[in-house]
């Protein structure tokens, strides 16, 4: 392998200054990993020529303004190679983002790679390091995000490029690895990208034939190029990752392609330059050791004693490349945009909102108010009405489903489908690709759009990784999950979610809403739409639930606090029991409350559409809603019982699911699993009795 590496050294083509810059990236990466005693040196070393070529010769990016809206996006899907990105960000001089917590990467940060408070965490984190376009590390996600970014770019271009002004024409570049391409999510996203003909998308595949356990033939033997050709991608080959002329040529091929996304299959040697580890899985991670480091530096013709060495002229070289090009393009764009603002004030105002993740005034003026109705509507039906009341007022509000729109009620009426020839459509068809949908929606949110996906709640498991990342990245997208319980009925246990609600509630920062009637659906959207750094999910019913009489019960605006007192004991009386419910079970609580009231027993109903939001309220509010002194409590939710003891207390009654559901008509399921007015009333009486006895 050492021989192969040195052969490649001889073959290397870049000129002296390019070579110096490339080797600076390599040595910074290996020195940082060595000092941190952990990390991944091999891939940054191998991909340094590709990264340098892209950044310094191709990328339209202004390091002085990492917020420039029309910048080309660079996604390091192979997130463990984070030192490649940090070295680039440092050498290109990417500045701290104005008005955010995203700091520039200093040489000191690189020397404190993976250490507390440095801006160089183990894997790139969006919102923390300036120039990091998305959080990567879970392999495949960056690929999916990049498809969403490219779709957002095309959507923005189709919608806002007017009168010959190219306000948006950015490209999206992604570096991905064997692992990225083994993951299903990248296949889902690539298939969609090929179908949509995303010519503004370019993936560079680091074909090093190495993963952690060894050589890829252990588990991966397909012809990736052929697979991407079948996905209708333009596939280009670079046989030597050190051949910067070939790399440049490949990027030019991407630029010239107008109909298809481009995949550059680039053969590389992991840990290029290491005397013994190059080309082996030993170069993937961990501190390489002094001997390997010295050996590699020797192979590069680098001073062996120097660490974190940035030779004179390297920063200037980046400045003369990406720096100058980016500054000129950004200045030109700003001029264009000023003229555009003068001639297209409304569009420019919309773009301002998109960039700031804000909403136009009056966006909620037509939100529906649903009249009281004992039979009521399914919350998915109400949701469809609310989505369609929002859509006309927020033109960049776009969404779709993984082939379930007729069931999830997410079609935006009168809007075009987003397709190959209609990139500005607002109804997206993700195909049956839930994982891809989640990842793509994250990319679209990163592109500024208010994008939502939808499917059945039980399939949230198929898209949990991107939902988790949307929370970690503090994005402003949401997902509409319908068929949210055993209420699915005859489709049976495969389609009946049990543990999904709890599992979504466990994701830090994510808000999980399960509205209890149609007006709670409206109020949920009123709240969710205003969020700009917080993703949400909605769990909606397939079956109808009563629309509560709000002249009798508290207004649904209580949703904004996560939980609220819907119905209470008469003035001056202490509730003998608190009944808590969500979604379709709220009506059961109200039924029990009314039965108790008719007998003269004072009770309280607390609607709990979003537990996480309730937890964010002041203790005083939480105690007001759920007074600690009242121990007689009943909770009702058609999901796992786990977690509800937090609200029911040690002695409360928890009505929920203890097992999978089963295939039967809804009525029979409700009886079998105990979600009936009688059972709730029985539990309430039991609670009153046992707590009286104490
Ligand atoms: C979803 C996911 N599964 C597993 C891992 C752990 N992991 C990190 S890198 C890697 C594979 C490394 O192979 P490759 O992607 O080809 O990267 P290279 O070693 O070539 O840099 C794995 C399994 C991960 N980061 N993400
Ligand atoms: Mg690999």
**Is residue 144 within 6 Å of ligand 1 at its C-beta?**
no
**CB-based contact 186:176 (threshold 8 Å):** yes
Could you tell me what percent of the chain has a pLDDT over 70?
98
Q: What is the pLDDT of residues 579-596, one digit of tens each?
A: 999 999 999 999 999 999
What is the predicted pLDDT for the residue at 694?
Answer: 53
**Is residue 31 within 6 Å of ligand 1 at its C-beta?**
no
CA of 651 to the centre of ligand 2 (A): 54
Q: What is the pLDDT of residues 281-339, one digit of tens each?
A: 999 999 999 999 999 999 999 999 999 999 999 999 999 999 999 999 999 999 999 99
Instruction: pLDDT band for 6, please (50, 70, 90 cuts).
Output: very low
Instruction: Report the distance separating Cα 426 and Cα 412, nearest Å.
Output: 7
The ligand 1 atom at the shortest distance from the C-alpha of residue 141 is 1
**Is residue 331 within 6 Å of ligand 1 at its C-beta?**
no
Residue ranges with strand state E in 496-572: 511-513, 536-539, 544-547, 564-567
Instruction: pLDDT band for 1, please (50, 70, 90 cuts).
Output: very low
The ligand 1 atom at the shortest distance from the C-alpha of residue 43 is 21
**Is residue 505 within 6 Å of ligand 1 at its C-beta?**
no
pLDDT at 481 over 90: yes
**Is residue 208 within 6 Å of ligand 1 at its C-beta?**
yes
Q: What is the pLDDT of residues 123-172, one digit of tens each?
A: 999 999 999 999 999 999 999 999 999 999 999 999 999 877 799 999 99
Residue 644 contacts by C-beta under 8 Å, 6 or more apart in sequence? 635, 637, 654, 656
Nearest ligand, CA 81: 1
What is the predicted pLDDT for the residue at 5?
Answer: 41
Q: What is the pLDDT of residues 181-190, one digit of tens each?
A: 999 999 999 9
State pTM to two decimals. Answer: 0.97
Instruction: pLDDT band for 693, please (50, 70, 90 cuts).
Output: low
Q: What is the pLDDT of residues 12-21, one digit of tens each?
A: 457 899 999 9
What is the predicted pLDDT for the residue at 11?
Answer: 46
**Is residue 465 within 6 Å of ligand 1 at its C-beta?**
no
Among left, alpha and beta (phi > 0; psi -120 to 50; other), residue 237 is beta
Q: Whose CA is nearest to atom 13 of ligand 1?
A: 211
**Is residue 178 within 6 Å of ligand 1 at its C-beta?**
yes
Domain architecture of the chain: domains with CATH: 2-92+136-329 (3.40.50.970), 373-546 (3.40.50.970), 559-693 (3.40.50.920)
Q: Which residues are catalytic?
A: 434
Q: Whose CA is nearest to atom 18 of ligand 1?
A: 211
Mean pLDDT rounded to a whole number for the chain:
96
Pocket test for ligand 1, best of 81, 137, 211, 269 (most atoms within 8 A of CB): 211
Q: Whose CA is nearest to atom 15 of ligand 1?
A: 179
pLDDT at 660 over 50: yes
CA of 152 to the centre of ligand 1 (A): 27
Nearest ligand, CA 179: 1
**Is residue 123 within 6 Å of ligand 1 at its C-beta?**
no
Instruction: pLDDT band for 403, please (50, 70, 90 cuts).
Output: very high
Residue 226 contacts by C-beta under 8 Å, 6 or more apart in sequence? none
Q: Whose CA is nearest to atom 8 of ligand 1?
A: 80
Q: Residue 541 is encoded by which pair of tokens?
A: 């019913």
CA of 85 to the centre of ligand 1 (A): 17
CA of 279 to the centre of ligand 2 (A): 10
With tokens 């050190």, the residue in question is 242
CA of 420 to the centre of ligand 2 (A): 32
**Is residue 584 within 6 Å of ligand 1 at its C-beta?**
no
Q: Whose CA is nearest to atom 16 of ligand 1?
A: 178
**Is residue 207 within 6 Å of ligand 1 at its C-beta?**
no
**Is residue 186 within 6 Å of ligand 1 at its C-beta?**
no
Buried/exposed 339-377: b ≥16 CB within 10 Å, e otherwise: ebeeebeebbebbebbeeeebeeebbeebeebebeeebb
CA of 6 to the centre of ligand 1 (A): 26
pLDDT at 4 over 50: no
Pocket test for ligand 1, best of 40, 44, 139 (most atoms within 8 A of CB): 139
Nearest ligand, CA 207: 2
Pocket test for ligand 1, best of 80, 145, 465 (most atoms within 8 A of CB): 80
Q: What is the pLDDT of residues 280-297, one digit of tens each?
A: 999 999 999 999 999 999
Nearest ligand, CA 285: 1
What is the predicted pLDDT for the residue at 3?
Answer: 38
- The gap between the terminal CA atoms of the chain, to the nearest Å, is 78
With tokens 């969006």, the residue in question is 126
Instruction: Report the distance separating Cα 24 and Cα 27, nearest Å.
Output: 5
What is the predicted pLDDT for the residue at 15?
Answer: 80
CA of 469 to the centre of ligand 1 (A): 17
Nearest ligand, CA 270: 1
The ligand 1 atom at the shortest distance from the C-alpha of residue 284 is 19
Instruction: pLDDT band for 10, please (50, 70, 90 cuts).
Output: very low
Pocket test for ligand 1, best of 177, 179, 269 (most atoms within 8 A of CB): 179
According to DSSP H, which parts of 93-241 are helical? 107-111, 141-160, 178-182, 184-196, 224-230
**Is residue 607 within 6 Å of ligand 1 at its C-beta?**
no
pLDDT at 653 over 50: yes
Q: What is the pLDDT of residues 343-369, one digit of tens each?
A: 999 999 999 999 999 999 999 999 999
Q: Residue 536 is encoded by which pair of tokens?
A: 């949400």
**CB-based contact 126:473 (threshold 8 Å):** yes
The ligand 1 atom at the shortest distance from the C-alpha of residue 179 is 15
For residue 478, give the nearest of 486, 492, 489, 466 by alpha carbon. Answer: 466
The ligand 1 atom at the shortest distance from the C-alpha of residue 78 is 15
CA of 321 to the centre of ligand 2 (A): 29
CA of 211 to the centre of ligand 1 (A): 6
The ligand 1 atom at the shortest distance from the C-alpha of residue 180 is 15
For residue 152, give the nearest of 51, 204, 75 by alpha carbon. Answer: 75
What is the predicted pLDDT for the residue at 370?
Answer: 98
What is the predicted pLDDT for the residue at 100?
Answer: 85
The 10 Å Cβ neighbour count of residue 591 is 18
CA of 210 to the centre of ligand 1 (A): 10
**Is residue 139 within 6 Å of ligand 1 at its C-beta?**
yes
With tokens 């991670």, the residue in question is 285
**Is residue 282 within 6 Å of ligand 1 at its C-beta?**
no
What is the predicted pLDDT for the residue at 594?
Answer: 98
**Is residue 435 within 6 Å of ligand 1 at its C-beta?**
no
Instruction: Report the distance separating Cα 237 and Cα 233, nearest Å.
Output: 13
């Amino acid at each position: 392998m050492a021989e192969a590496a040195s052969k490649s050294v001889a073959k290397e083509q870049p000129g002296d200054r390019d070579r110096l810059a490339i080797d600076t990236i390599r040595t910074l990466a290996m020195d940082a990993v060595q000092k941190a005693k952990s990390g991944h040196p091999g891939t940054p070393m191998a991909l340094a020529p590709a990264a340098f070529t892209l950044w310094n010769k191709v990328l339209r990016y202004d390091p002085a303004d990492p917020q420039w809206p029309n910048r080309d996006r660079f996604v390091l899907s192979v997130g463990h190679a984070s030192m490649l990105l940090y070295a680039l960000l440092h050498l290109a001089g990417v500045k701290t983002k104005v008005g955010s917590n995203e700091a520039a990467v200093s040489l000191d940060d690189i020397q404190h790679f993976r250490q507390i408070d440095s801006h160089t965490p183990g894997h790139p984190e969006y919102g923390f390091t300036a120039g990091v376009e998305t959080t990567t590390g879970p392999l495949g996600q960056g690929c999916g995000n990049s498809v969403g970014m490219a779709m957002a770019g095309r959507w923005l271009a189709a919608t806002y490029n007017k009168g010959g002004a190219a306000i948006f024409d950015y490209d999206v570049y992604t570096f991905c690895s064997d692992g990225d391409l083994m993951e299903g999510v990248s296949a889902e996203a690539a298939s969609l990208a090929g179908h949509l003909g995303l010519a503004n998308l370019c993936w560079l595949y680091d074909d090093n034939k190495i993963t952690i356990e060894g050589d890829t033939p252990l588990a991966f033997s397909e012809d990736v190029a052929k697979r991407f050709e079948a996905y209708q991608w333009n596939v280009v080959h670079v046989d030597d990752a050190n051949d910067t002329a070939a790399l440049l040529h490949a990027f030019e091929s991407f630029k010239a392609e107008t109909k298809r996304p481009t995949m550059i299959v680039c053969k590389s040697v992991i840990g290029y330059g290491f005397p013994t580890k190059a080309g082996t899985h030993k170069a993937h991670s961990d501190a390489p050791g002094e001997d390997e480091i010295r050996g590699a530096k020797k192979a590069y013709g680098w001073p062996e004693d120097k660490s974190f060495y940035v030779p004179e002229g390297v920063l200037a070289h980046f400045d003369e490349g990406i720096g100058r090009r980016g500054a000129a393009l950004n200045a030109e764009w700003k001029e264009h945009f000023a003229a555009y603002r003068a001639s297209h004030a409304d569009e420019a105002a919309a773009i301002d909102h998109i960039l700031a993740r804000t909403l136009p005034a009056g966006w909620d003026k037509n939100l529906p108010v649903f009249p009281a109705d004992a039979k009521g509507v399914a919350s998915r039906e109400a949701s469809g009405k609310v989505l369609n009341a929002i859509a006309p007022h927020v033109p960049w509000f776009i969404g779709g489903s993984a082939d379930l729109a007729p069931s999830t009620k997410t079609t935006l009426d009168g809007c075009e489908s987003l397709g190959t020839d209609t990139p500005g459509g607002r109804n997206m068809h993700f195909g049956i690709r839930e994982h891809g949908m989640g990842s793509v929606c994250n990319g679209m949110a990163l592109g500024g759009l208010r994008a939502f996906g939808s499917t059945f709640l039980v399939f949230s498991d198929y898209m949990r990784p991107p939902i988790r990342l949307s929370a970690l990245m503090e994005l402003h997208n949401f997902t509409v999950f319908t068929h949210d319980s055993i209420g699915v009925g005859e489709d049976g246990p495969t389609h009946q979610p049990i543990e999904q609600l709890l599992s979504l509630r466990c994701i830090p920062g994510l808000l999980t809403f399960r509205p209890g009637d149609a007006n709670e659906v409206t109020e949920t959207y009123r709240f969710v739409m205003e969020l700009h750094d917080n993703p949400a999910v909605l769990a909606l019913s397939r079956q109808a639930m009563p629309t509560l009489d709000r002249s009798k019960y508290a207004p649904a605006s209580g949703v904004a606090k996560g939980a609220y007192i819907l119905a209470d004991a008469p003035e001056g009386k202490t509730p003998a029991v608190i009944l808590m419910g969500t979604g379709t079970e709220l009506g059961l609580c109200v039924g029990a409350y009314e039965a108790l009231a008719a007998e003269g027993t004072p009770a309280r109903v607390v609607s709990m559409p979003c537990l996480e939001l309730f937890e964010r309220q002041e203790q005083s509010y939480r105690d007001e809603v759920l007074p600690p002194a009242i121990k007689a409590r009943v909770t009702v939710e058609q999901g796992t019982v786990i977690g509800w003891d937090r609200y029911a207390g040690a002695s409360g009654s928890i009505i929920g699911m203890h097992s999978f559901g089963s295939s039967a008509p809804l009525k029979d399921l409700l009886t079998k699993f105990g979600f009936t007015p009688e059972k709730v009333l029985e539990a309430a009486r039991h609670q009153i009795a046992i707590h009286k006895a104490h």
